[in-house]
Chain A
Amino acid sequence: MLRNYRTLKKAGVLGLNARNGNYILQYNKRRFYPLVDDKVLCKRCLQERNLAVPDLIGVIRSMRGASHMEDVLGDQREFVIKPAHGSGGDGIQVITDRKADYFVDSDGKLVEFADLKHHVTNVIGGMYSLGGQPDVAMIETLVHFDQAFSALTYHGVPDIRVIVYMGYPVMAMTRLPTRRSHGKANLHQGAIGVGIDLASGLTVGGVSGNAPVSVHPDTGENIQGFRIPHWERILLMASQCYEAVSLGYLGVDIVLDRDLGPLILELNARPGLNIQIANRQGLKCRLKQIDQLENKEADAETRIAWSCRAFGTLGEEPVAS
């Protein structure tokens, strides 16, 4: 057991205690938390910096507002309902179409309007927020996912998670929805995490739960060696989020839209550690390398170039010069 401990330490793996104590507590100031914990606020903040996000359709703040939900929705056929303070992907309802009086969810199941309203009231009541605080329901446009991913995903929208430390991209992965995850891109709901080489944007290998996988369980497609489109822009957007929300240790979730390109879905002040398993790499050694930099670059492009040089694992030419 002690030997296990030492090998993990040598591999530079970041544990939960170290993440919380040495990085989150130290570099994420509490007063900036609302900027990422409140998704409505976060969206506004990112839009001010001209960072692309899915458009907001409306916000339902009260039970009375819930009864006027029809007005907010208008004739939108596809949209996503999210708790503004949700965590871990809980309480997200994806509607992809309307059929007569029914809505169609991401699994193709029919949902009654009353069900939808009940869901919204649950969200407002605080069922999905941390500590059961009253919340607001946010309705935003549905992302039409890029066909580039179609072979690697089962329904839903795959997303890309980039860990950004002091503005430097440190590690990245993409999360592919599966049948088990009901189209949600969340690892503990059953999505697969696939590591991405920072320099080239090529996928390196995947993990389902804690077990390594090399093919998508629903499509049978090989998930290694896939080149993520718009990689350069993804890194740039992720890196710029540091200036937007002033959090030193940040998880940026990005989706690829067919028409709009990369969109920032949400930011996370306490990003999970599974990204290390997906990449088969420890985070700590990379974070330490950044700690050792004498002067941190102010400019996102320079930071990315440094990260690609330092953390690229496949030895290909970095896309960003």
Chain B
Amino acid sequence: MSRNRQWLVLSLLLITLGSLIFAYKYVRLGFPPLPDMQSEAWSIQARVQLDPETGSVRASLVLPSRPTGFTVSDENFISRGFGLTLEEDTYRRQANWAIRRMREPTTLYYRANVIRDTRDKSFAPRPAFPDVPQLEEPFATALQDIITEVRAESADIETFAAAMMARMTGREDDENTRLFLSTVESPMDRVRLVQTLLAGARIPTLQLHGVSLEQEQAAAQISTLLAVHNGEDWLVFNPYSGEEHLPDDFFIWWTGDRTMARVTGADLGEIQVSTRKQLKSALDLATLRANLRDSRMGMISILQLPLQTQGVYEVLLLIPFGILLIVVLRNFVGLSSFGTFAPVLIALAFRETELLKGILLFVLIVSLGLAFRFYLERLRLLLVPRLAAVVTIVVLLMAAISIISNEMGMETGLSVSLFPMIIISLVIERMSIVWEERGAGTALKEGVGSLFMAALAYVVMGIDLLTYWVTVFPEINLIVLGIIVAMGRYTGFRLTELSRFSKISDQNA
């Protein structure tokens, strides 16, 4: 019994495996299921203006390191004669520029192309618990009071942090809050204040600085969010409202309480950040993403192959669909043809010539070849030389058709070159035998059947979406294989048998 069900297990396994790879590539890597889909990419730029003072100049700019939800696909710098070094570790990247003498105002640029990626909150390592800040009176007592009150109003770190930030919006009018808010002069002060208060409860916090990639901005505002660690994970809050939310389009440029750029030996003018949106082929972006991530799954695509090889595989990977069709036509419908898979190969030839012209050419070559074959029969040639003669005649016929159609100014004749002549020769041989043994009717019927199957296979293998799928998602052939395996155990009637055996059921009904 277990062997009887093995085919089912294998088939389901293949289908599941194919679907999983497909789903992974679609959901995680964002390979588009339809061709010509576009998705957005961003180009962000930081412009650092320096005005000369005296002596040598050093400037540093933090670079995006782990922007959650995005990936930097490539970046470049415009350094204007400055020496550039990059300083990187796991969570921090920084560009250092240096020059001995700077005589006139200079602008340095950093530009990065950014694409969307999956969101994982790995922008910073697991933090240590901060020390309780040592404040002077009356702040120390006020801090203790606020912490006690907020703790009473909250259940865990998440609600504690949210309540603390809400309290600092100043809507609640109590004197401790007012005391702390009186020290706040800028929005950044407010963020630092919240950090201090949370540190009072030994809760680790981290500033997240970034820009919103919602729409293009010539002068984008750097905004700050506050990440609070609850012992397991980072929770991101809007420190001004206490709302827990990391917007989808928030691009985290850097973390921590440092400034974006630092300069010595020159006067730091304005840092201008601008963002620009670009529409790119979703497929290119997905491929880029897979490459950046070094994803093996993403590599399962013939797009990685050299262009020439791609063309070959685009056709080869379609063959299983043609074969699947043949299985359906033979085992479910009950049609028969010359040679089991010959129709698929003929269909491949049709791809070179287009359907109607292909059929005409096929009929022309086969009927001429058949005529020669009947003549050869009279010469009593031995089998192999006779087959060889037929192949040669087929080749000559194709050459003749090409030359004639060229003379007449038609182009299709030329593309006949890839017509599978061996297949045609075998069809001719087989057809002539059937012709002699079973009569012209059967031979023609089977010939037309083969042609019909070839035409159908051509139509199926010509579906653009299918071509695109096998190119980008070759794993769907695993699904096809699973279906073929399952169909191999279909032991019911074929469609043609319904009428063939109908006399029996009449009798017994």
Taking Cβ atoms with an 8 Å cutoff, the residues of A that contact B are 1, 4-5, 7-11, 13, 15-18, 20-22, 63, 90-91, 114-115, 118, 121-122, 125-128, 188-189, 207, 210, 212, 273, 276-277, 280-282
Contact = CB atoms under 8 A, between A and B. Distances in A.
Contact of A121 (B382, B489, B493): B382
Nearest to A127: B383
B498 A16 contact: no
Interface in B462-509: 488-495, 497-505, 507-509
B105 interface: no
B395 to A, nearest CB: 20
A188 B495 CA distance: 19
A159 B74 CA distance: 81
A125 to B, nearest CB: 3
A313 to B, nearest CB: 11
B258 interface: no
8 contacts: A11-B508, A13-B505, A17-B492, A20-B491, A121-B380, A125-B382, A276-B501, A281-B507
Which of under 10, 10 to 19, 20 to 34, or 35 or more describes the interface residues of B?
20 to 34
Contacts of A128: 433
B383 A122 contact: yes
Given A8-B504, A16-B334, A126 B383 contact: yes
Contacts of A90: 433, 437
3 closest Cβ contacts across the A-B interface?
A: A125-B383, A18-B491, A15-B493
Main secondary structure of the interface of A (DSSP, over half): helix
A8 B494 contact: no
B389 to A, nearest CB: 13
Could you say which of A126, A212, A280 has the most chain B C-beta atoms within 10 Å of its C-beta? A280
Contacts of B384: 125
Contacts, number: 102
A68 to B, nearest CB: 16
Nearest to A205: B507
Contact of B491 (A15, A277, A280): A15
B438 interface: yes
A273 B496 CA distance: 13
A10 B502 CA distance: 12
Contacts of A273: 501
A231 to B, nearest CB: 23
B494 A16 contact: yes
B503 A277 contact: yes
Nearest to B502: A4
B498 A121 contact: no
A8 B501 contact: yes
Given A5-B498, A17-B492, A280 B437 contact: no
B503 A189 contact: no
B205 interface: no
Given A127-B433, A189-B437, A273-B501, 6 more contacts: A5-B498, A17-B494, A118-B380, A125-B384, A188-B438, A276-B501
A11 B504 contact: yes
A282 B498 CA distance: 13
Contacts of A125: 382-384
B504 A276 contact: yes
Nearest to A117: B380
B331 interface: yes
Could you say which of B442, B488, B489, B498 has the most chain A C-beta atoms within 10 Å of its C-beta? B498
Interface in B426-458: 433, 437-438, 442
A277 B383 CA distance: 37
Contacts of A8: 493, 497-498, 501-502, 504-505
B373 to A, nearest CB: 12
Given A16-B334, A90-B433, A126-B383, A11 B505 contact: yes
B335 to A, nearest CB: 12
B252 to A, nearest CB: 60
A277 B500 contact: yes
Interface in B7-34: none
B85 to A, nearest CB: 71
A6 to B, nearest CB: 9
A114 B380 contact: yes
B278 to A, nearest CB: 55
Given A127-B383, A189-B437, A282-B508, A17 B490 contact: yes
B437 to A, nearest CB: 5
B331 A17 contact: yes
Could you say which of A1, A17, A115, A281 has the most chain B C-beta atoms within 10 Å of its C-beta? A17
